[in-house]
Amino acid sequence: MNITVIRLNMFEHISSDAMKPLLFGILKSLTPSQHTITFLDERAEALPDVIHADIIAFSVETFTAKRAYLLAQKYKTDQNIIVMGGFHAAVMADEMLAYADSVLVGDAEGNWQRMLSDYENGCLQKKYISDESAPLTLLQEDSSVYRHRYFGIGVYQISRGCKFHCDFCSIKTMYRCVRRKTAAMIVQELKQAREKILFFVDDNLFYDKQSALELFRAIAPLKKKWACQISMDAARDDTLLAEMKKAGCFLVLIGFESLNTDSLGEMHKAANTAADYEDIIQRIYRHKLLIYGTFVLGCDGDSVDVFQKTYDFAVRNHMAVTNFNPLIPMPGTGVYERMEQEGRLLYRKWWLSDQYRYGETAYQPKHMTPLQLQEGCLKMRTDYYSMGCILKRLFANPIHLRPMNLVVFLLANLISRREIHKKQGQLLGGILNASDVD
C-alpha cells in the first residue's frame, strides 16, 4: 500500500516556528516494511494538489480540524480512504467521521497497525480506540521521514499524560494516566540523535523526584543541550534544577498561567502559588536556566487590569520567551462544558466557524468584553516582542548573554515577533460552510 501522512498547519502558509513532528518517527516504526509511507508537513512545505495514495492520514488538533476536513474533501477519491487521529479525535470522533472513513482515538500504537491490517483485509472499522495499555514506542532515528531541518532541533518524548488536572487543558481528554519510557530507552534514543539541541515535548517532564534524577543522571554523559516543560513543584527543588543543568538543560517552560489566586483556583492549577513566583524565578536563574513563561488571561477572576499586571511581571523578571494566551474553551475540557452550560460560548464550535479568527475570543468573559480580551492579549504580545522590549530583557539578565543562550534568545524572540503578525486575525483552515456550526 501507499500511505501519506500529513502534519497540518492552522493556515495555508509556511510557518517559521515549526518543530520536528514526533509523530512521523512513531508511525514509521509502526508501519510494516512492505508498505510505502510518505510524510508531508504543511507547516514547512506546500501540499500538492493531488495525492496518489491508498491511505491519506491526518494528525488533527482542534486548531487544525477545519483544515483537515477541507483537505479531506479535496483529496478524497473512490480509490483511497481518509484516516484521522490526534488530540481532536479524543473528543470529536463522531464529528470527524463526517469527513473521514476511519478515526483513530488515542495513541497510534496498536490502533495504527490494526487499521492497516483491517484495510488490507477489507474490514476497515469506523473507529479504533486505544486503551492506553500499549507500551510507549522506542523511537528509532530515521532521517528519511524528515524533509526539513527544523532549525537542527531534535524532538523527543519521555512520557505521555500529566499528573495534574487543569480545567482548561485538553491533555486529559487524550490521556487518563501517565505512562513513561525508562531512562535506558531514552538514552538509547538520544544516542542516535544527530542533533545536539533537543526539546522534550512532554507536557510535564517531572513526574516524581526519583525518576527525574534517574533520567537526568543517565543522559548527562551524552552531552546534549535540551529544553523541557516542568511544573512548579519541580521548579522549587534545587537538587532537581542542579541535576537538570548538569544533564544539559538550558531552558524550562513553565505555566505560570495567572498572578490571580482566584483564577489559579478556577483553573485547578494545584501546583501554582502566585505568592512564590518571584522566588521560583530567582531559584531557576541561580541555576543558569532560561525561562519560557506561559500565561492564560480571561478567567472569571480577571478584570481589565490583568493585562498590564501580567505584562509588567514578565518584563520585570526578564523572561526569555512568553506566551500570553486568551482562555480558550477547548472541547472536552471543564472550561468548555461550563461555558456551554452557562450559555457563554460565542460559537457553538469555534474551531469550525467560518467567522472565528485566530486570537479572537470564543466566549463571553465575566469582567471584560470579548474585544477587550482579544486586544489585551494582542497588545501584550506585540509589546513584549517589540525590539525595545527584546533588547531590554536581553541585557537585563546575564544568563541571556551566554553564547548558546544568546542565539536561542534572539531566534525565539525574532520568530515569535514574526509569527504574531502572521497568525493574528487569520481564518482557521479556510471556508468550510459546515451546516452545524453557528
Same domain, 216 and 72: no
DSSP 271-331: T--GGGHHHHHHHHHHTT-EEEEEEEE--TT--TTHHHHHHHHHHHTT-SEEEEEE----T
Same domain, 74 and 170: no
The CA–CA distances, whole Å, from 96 to 61, 66, 71, 86, 248 equal 11, 10, 13, 11, 41
DSSP state of 339: H
The confidence band for 5, taking pLDDT boundaries of 50, 70 and 90, is very high
Same domain, 105 and 251: no
pLDDT for the residue numbered 435: 53
Lowest mean pLDDT among 105-119, 159-173, 380-394: 159-173
Same domain, 173 and 113: no
pLDDT for the residue numbered 31: 95
> What CA–CA distance (Å, rounded) separates 433 from 30?
36
- Quote the domain boundaries for residue 69: 2-129
What CATH number does the domain containing 289 carry?
Answer: 3.80.30.20
Task: Write out the H or E segment, with its range, that includes residue 218.
Answer: helix 209-219
Q: Under a CB-based contact definition with an 8 Å cutoff, are residues 80 and 101 in contact?
A: no
Task: Record the pTM.
Answer: 0.94
Counting the structural domains of the chain, the total is: 2
Q: Is the pLDDT score of 438 beyond 80?
A: no
Q: Under a CB-based contact definition with an 8 Å cutoff, are residues 267 and 166 in contact?
A: yes
> What CA–CA distance (Å, rounded) separates 205 from 123?
39
What CATH number does the domain containing 92 carry?
Answer: 3.40.50
> What CA–CA distance (Å, rounded) separates 359 from 328?
10
Same domain, 110 and 150: no
Is residue 138 in some structural domain? no
Which residue in 59, 62, 8, 10 sits closest to 332, CA to CA? 62
Which residue in 258, 340, 351, 350 sits closest to 299, CA to CA? 258
Interval 257-310: pLDDT, tens: 999 999 999 999 888 999 999 999 999 999 999 999 999 999 999 999 999 999
Is residue 65 in some structural domain? yes
Same domain, 112 and 226: no
Which residue in 371, 352, 282, 276 sits closest to 319, CA to CA? 282
Among 103, 129, 155, give the residue marking a domain's end: 129
Cell numbers found for residue 33: 516494511
Which residue in 181, 171, 106 sits closest to 139, CA to CA? 181
The CA–CA distances, whole Å, from 436 to 38, 53, 346, 426, 430 equal 33, 30, 14, 22, 16
Q: Under a CB-based contact definition with an 8 Å cutoff, are residues 181 and 218 in contact?
A: no
What is the average pLDDT across 402-430?
93
Give 36's contacts (C-beta < 8 A, 6+ positions apart): 1, 2, 3
Same domain, 93 and 231: no
CB atoms near residue 434 (< 10 Å)? 15
Is residue 437 in some structural domain? no
Mean residue pLDDT of the chain comes to 93
Is residue 13 in some structural domain? yes
Is residue 380 in some structural domain? yes
Lowest mean pLDDT among 50-54, 273-277, 430-434: 430-434
Is residue 45 in some structural domain? yes
- For the chain, what percentages of helix, strand and coil (3-state, to nearest 5) are there? 40, 15, 40
Among 129, 162, 184, give the residue marking a domain's end: 129
Task: Say which amino acid occupies 53.
Answer: A
